[in-house]
Structures are given as structure tokens and as C-alpha cells.
Amino acid sequence: MEVVVVVVFVTSGRRRDPSLAGQVLVLQLAVILGVLALVAVISLRQSGVTFEQQAGAQVRSVAEYVANSSQVRTKLEEVADPSTRTAASDTVNQLAPAVESALSLSSASEIDITTPDGEVLVSSDPLRVGTHADLDGSGAQGGRGWSGLREVDAQTVVAAHAPVLSDDDSGEGDLVGLVLVEQNYPSAWQRLTDSAADLAVFLGVGALLGVLGTYVISRVVRRRTRGLGASEISRLADHREALLHSIREGVLAVGTDGRITMVNDAALRLLDLDADALGQPVARLALGKEVVSLLDGSAAVDEDAVAVVADRVLVFNRRSASSRGRGIGTVTTMRDRTELVSLQSQLSSNLSITDTLRAQTHEFSNHLHTISGLVQLEEYAELRSLVGTLARRRAETSDFVTARVKDLAVAALLLAKSSVADEHGVCLELTEDSALPALAPGDSADLTTVLGNLIENALDACRGVEGAEVTVSLQAGLSYLHIEVADNGPGVPEELREAIFVRGFSTKPDVPGGRGIGLPLVQLICAQRGGSIEVHQGKGAVFSVRLPYSSRVST
């Protein structure tokens, strides 16, 4: 049955959405601009940290230099000693050269010399003289140097404080004053202009590389997405999902790495898989080697390959998938043909009955011709002997079968197959120890299907063999029927003992329309009922079936 799927895409007259590649290009450019801005901010921040470290070391060095000057120590000792204190103007006149010299030799903005309590005695800024310096947080009054950031007149400065100690024979002088050195903190614009050359190079190279990389990525995305926009890709994905999950046939795709890349609901149901099978290696699923080989492409498959999965008969069609000339895996469709196989089995049973009737007609026709000839020859004694022999032989066969097989449908099947076997020159025998009670209708129907297919295969296998014979054994246990059908044909090679049950395999390719449905059907019935079927080698092939049955007797 061919399945035709029609998908209609309706598009409006609105302007086409920008392609995904174009959107990626714009997004990437925006990201690059953001990154470049972030780099600029980080660069400014780094330049600030560097300035703090360098300027802090410089102002600390200047403060220590001035504080260690002998002229500064001597003059501050005099200021601190009331007996030798001089006028303030003299102090300024004598210390100002030291301040100016240090200021000119460094990059400092301001230099102050104060008393121990912070009163400014000398400053590069005359307006500060007489004021008190801010010493909060500074350890200079405790005899230790200090450096850090401070806010002076609403401006950030890098400051350093150094104590001035008097000369003392003990080596531990008294605090006689402080030296305060400040350097103005540059603004963001000053720092940016100072590093503009290097920053422009770095940002320019980064922008160029980013734009080139973005362009390459956009080209790759355009090629992969066929120039489609994001909304178009979204609609395609929605249509794909709707299509896959609405069709009754199972669809399963396997990538080149053997993993399931796509599977629809029907395939999950037919193969009895969980929803998490997507992305799993197909070889790890509990599907059997033959079914796995059908799905992953490891086995050569013609169209409509038959396989039995659990209690279903599935028909597989596999095709290789490729994109731009490169193989990307396989896509397999599967259809449930369990009901069709059952109908085919019924048809085969009808054909088998037709063959049986034809064989019996042929046999009766021969007997009638013989009887007619004896009547014409008026050999009535011979006629009586022939009719008696025929009646006795048929009665003996019927009595032998019905004495051991109480189920009428199975007994009738055995008698019918006996006539077919006689026509083909094959001896069909029921073992002496066979014992089968009357069965419930469902059990009887399944048993006749199983037994009919096994006997038919056995007759085909040993046809033409000298002394061809088929032996049937029927035993009924407490809850299982044990059926064994053996022939003296060539048998089944060990490497084919799984294939004959699973894939609709046939060793008779010359048969028009194909074969290979009988044994899969037997295996299907056994699986549905919780039984089993095995094959091993005897004189030929020996098929052993274990089939559950109920104790209810058919009426």
C-alpha cells in the first residue's frame, strides 16, 4: 500500500524575514562592539591601577626624601623646641627651598611640611600655610610612613605621609614634623588620551578580527540554513514534527555514528521503545541483531524486508540519507503487517486445503479408473479385494490419528496433509506416543496454523529425497503443548537458524511471489502466546515448539 503525504505551506504576502545568517551577523557585531567597550573600560581601569601603584611609589619616595633631609630635621627640631623657636617667616624662608627643589625634581602636585599635630608650616600652595592637614587614617603620627588615595578639594589625589624624626644618640628620634606629598589623579579622559595609541591598535585589531570571524560564521550559517530566516526555520521544524508524529508509519533515522537521530511516535510504538531512545546507539536497544542490522545499515536489504518484533510482523524499507553528496546515515520506514500476515496465513490455509482436495481428487480418480477397469473385465473378486484394501487402509490411518489426537481440527489437518504427502512421495507419520486432547477453539486454531506451516515446510524440504519422510510428535503437558516436526531433508545451516524466523527468509528464491512468511508467523504466534520455537539438526531439520494452552475443552 502506497502512502502519499501532502504538506501544504501557506505564506502571507508580508515581507520576508531577515535570514538567520544576517541576524547572526548583526548579533555578532553587537557582541563585538560590547566586547570592545568592555575592553576599553578594563583598559582604563587597569591604567588607573597602574597609575596608583607608580604614583604611590613616587610620592612615597619624595616624602621620605624630604623627611630625611638634614636641613628639614634641624629646622623642625628648632620649631619644636620653645627655647630655640624662630619666627614663622624664618621657618618658611629656610624650608621653602627644600620644598621647591623636591617639587621641581618630581611629578608631585603639592608638598606640605607640618607640625606633628598637622599644622601646615610650609607648603607649595601658600594658601595652605596655617591650616591643618587631614591625617585621618594615616599612620605617620605614629612614626610610620603611609600612602593612599584622598579627596582634597573635591579632587582625588595620591598622597604619601612621612614622619620627620629628630636626631638622637639612642637611634630613636622624637617626632618633630610631617611631610605630606600629593599628586593629582588623572581624569578618565586624560588616561584614555595617554593610552590612546596603544588602545586604538588593540581595539582596531580586535574589531577587524571580530568582523572577519563574524563574516565567516555568517557564511557558514547561511550555507547550513539555506538562507532561511529564524521564523521560517521555526515553521519548518513545526511542520516536520507535525508530519512525523501524525503519520501511522514508523520513521526512524540513524546517523553515521549508529545513534538514533530522529524517531516518531509510531516507530516507538511498533518497536516497543521508550521516548528516551532518541540519541541512543541503536545497537544497545533490545531489538535483536537482525532488526538492528536493518536499522543501522549494516545488512543489505531489499524493499519490504519482513521482521518479527515482539508480537508484531513489521515490513521495513531503508534508504541511505545524504546531504550535499555526503552520507549522513539511514532512514527506515516501517509498517505493521501483523493483520495482513494473519490474512495471508488464512489464505495459505485455504490454498493448502485446495491442494489437499486436489490431491485427494487425483487419488480417488486413479482408484475409480482402476475400479472401472476391473468392472469392465468382470474381475469382481479382485474388485472386492481392492475396495476392501482401500477402505481398510484409510480406516486404519484415520483410526490411528483420531486415537491419539482428540482435537478434530488438528486430526483433520493431519489426515489432509497425509494425502498431500502421499502425492509428493513423502511418508508423513504421527509418532506412537503422541497424545493430544480436545482443545479450546483459540488453542486449536493457533495449533493448526503452527502445525500446518511446519509440516508444509518439512514436505518442501525433503521432497525429492530418497526415502523422504516427515515425523510429527504431539504431546500435551500440564500447561504447554509440545510439538516436534522432523524431516530427513538437508536441514538448516546453523548460520541461518535465526534468519529463517526473523526476516522472512526463504531458501527458495525461485518461488514466484516469494516465501518466508510461514516460519515468521509461527514465531509470531509463539511470541504472542508466551511460547517458543527452536530448530536443531537431526536426520534433517527438527523444529520444536512449546505452546501454552488452556485446559478448557472445545465443544
C-alpha separations of 371 from 217, 368, 419 in Å: 95, 5, 20
pLDDT band at 484 (very low <50, low <70, confident <90, very high): very high
Q: Is 461 in contact with 487 (CB distance < 8 Å)?
A: yes
Pick left, alpha or beta for residue 325 (phi over 0 → left; psi -120 to 50 → alpha; otherwise beta).
left
β partners of residue 532: 546
Mean pLDDT of the chain: 75
Say which DSSP state 517 is in: -
pLDDT at 2: 41
Q: Is 7 in contact with 203 (CB distance < 8 Å)?
A: no
Q: Is 106 in contact with 93 (CB distance < 8 Å)?
A: no
Q: Is 389 in contact with 367 (CB distance < 8 Å)?
A: no
Handedness of CA 436, 441, 443, 444 (dihedral sign): positive
Determine the average pLDDT of the residues in 151-158. Answer: 78
pLDDT band at 474 (very low <50, low <70, confident <90, very high): very high
Per-residue pLDDT tens over the stretch 229-243: 666 666 666 666 666
Q: What is the dihedral of CA 137, 142, 144, 146, to 10 degrees?
A: 20
State the amino acid at position 154 in one-letter form. A
Per-residue pLDDT tens over the stretch 15-44: 455 665 666 667 777 777 777 777 777 777
pLDDT at 374: 65
Per-residue pLDDT tens over the stretch 166-191: 776 555 678 888 888 888 877 766 66
pLDDT at 190: 64
Whole-angstrom Cα distance, residue 383 to residue 386? 5
Does residue 324 surpass a pLDDT of 80?
no
Pairing of strands 541-548, 480-487: antiparallel
pLDDT band at 300 (very low <50, low <70, confident <90, very high): low
Whole-angstrom Cα distance, residue 11 to residue 15? 10
Which residue's C-alpha cell is 527438527?
542
CB atoms within 10 A of CB 16: 11
Whole-angstrom Cα distance, residue 200 to residue 37? 12
Per-residue pLDDT tens over the stretch 495-512: 887 777 765 544 444 443
Residue 114 sits at φ, ψ, to 5 deg, of -125, 170
pLDDT at 346: 58
DSSP letter for each residue of 418-450: HHHHHHTT-EEEE-TT-BB----HHHHHHHHHH
- For each of the domains in the chain, give its residue range(s) and CATH number, in order of start: 24-192 (3.30.450.20), 247-336 (3.30.450.20), 396-548 (3.30.565.10)
pLDDT at 520: 77
Nearest to 266 by CA among 319, 312, 320: 312
Q: Is 327 helix (H, G, I), strand (E, B) or coil?
A: strand
Alpha helices in 167-288 (DSSP H): 188-194, 196-225, 230-246, 265-271
Say which DSSP state 6 is in: -
The number of angstroms, rounded, from the C-alpha of 376 to the middle of its chain's C-alpha atoms is 85
Nearest to 448 by CA among 415, 489, 423, 424: 415
Which burial class, exposed, middle or buried, applies to 390 when counting CB atoms under 10 A from its CB (0-12, 13-18, 19+)?
middle
Whole-angstrom Cα distance, residue 111 to residue 57? 15
Q: Which of 64-73, 145-154, 300-309, 464-473 shows the lowest mean pLDDT across its residues?
A: 300-309
pLDDT at 465: 85
Which burial class, exposed, middle or buried, applies to 548 when counting CB atoms under 10 A from its CB (0-12, 13-18, 19+)?
middle
CB atoms within 10 A of CB 208: 10
Instruction: Extract the runs of DSSP E, i.e. beta strands, from 453-531.
Output: 469-476, 480-487
Selected residue with higher pLDDT from 402 and 290? 402
pLDDT band at 86 (very low <50, low <70, confident <90, very high): low
pLDDT band at 148 (very low <50, low <70, confident <90, very high): confident
Say which DSSP state 103 is in: H
pLDDT band at 203 (very low <50, low <70, confident <90, very high): low
C-alpha separations of 232 from 11, 227, 236, 246, 389 in Å: 10, 10, 6, 21, 85
Whole-angstrom Cα distance, residue 400 to residue 396? 6
State the amino acid at position 549 in one-letter form. Y
The number of angstroms, rounded, from the C-alpha of 348 to the middle of its chain's C-alpha atoms is 44
The secondary structure element, H or E, covering residue 543 is strand 541-548
β partners of residue 177: 164
CB atoms within 10 A of CB 253: 20
